[in-house]
């Protein structure tokens, strides 16, 4: 009786899968952006040319036309005197041989 129930469930699953298409295919379609064919003539990006910030010489961060991104007031401030935080490892080689068991 349990085997018939499993077989029925499996057939139903396969039937629904064929009707709806595979869930993996649907996920890929949802994640992948659709290309609407609009290509900017100024920079080659996927937006209309009239919205291109390169042609309007606007800041790429905030869109303001009085400065470029390197001078944008919305950039995160960094202290020029501080060095970047990095992790370091030190290894040492020596001529002595250590023997024994732990």
Residue-wise pLDDT tens digits, 25-45: 444 444 444 456 788 888 888
Does residue 71 register a pLDDT over 80? yes
Q: DSSP character for 51?
A: G
Q: Tell me what percent of the residues of the chain surpass a pLDDT of 70.
A: 69
Which pLDDT does position 30 carry in this prediction?
42
CA atoms within 13 A on the CB side of 41: 2
Spatial neighbors of 13 by CB under 8 A, at least 6 apart, are: none
Which pLDDT does position 81 carry in this prediction?
65
Coil, helix or strand for 101?
Answer: coil
CA–CA distance, 93 with 53 (Å, rounded to integer): 56
Which pLDDT does position 79 carry in this prediction?
61
Which pLDDT does position 9 carry in this prediction?
78
């Amino acid at each position: 009786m349990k085997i018939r129930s499993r077989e029925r469930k499996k057939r139903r699953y396969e039937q629904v899968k064929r009707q709806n298409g595979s869930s993996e295919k649907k996920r890929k379609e949802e994640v992948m952006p659709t290309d609407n064919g609009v290509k900017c003539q100024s920079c080659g990006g996927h937006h209309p040319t009239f919205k291109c910030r390169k042609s309007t010489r606007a800041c790429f961060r905030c869109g303001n036309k009085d400065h470029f991104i390197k001078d944008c007031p919305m950039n995160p401030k960094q202290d020029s005197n501080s060095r970047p935080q990095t992790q370091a490892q030190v290894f040492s080689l020596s001529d002595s041989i250590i023997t024994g068991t732990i």
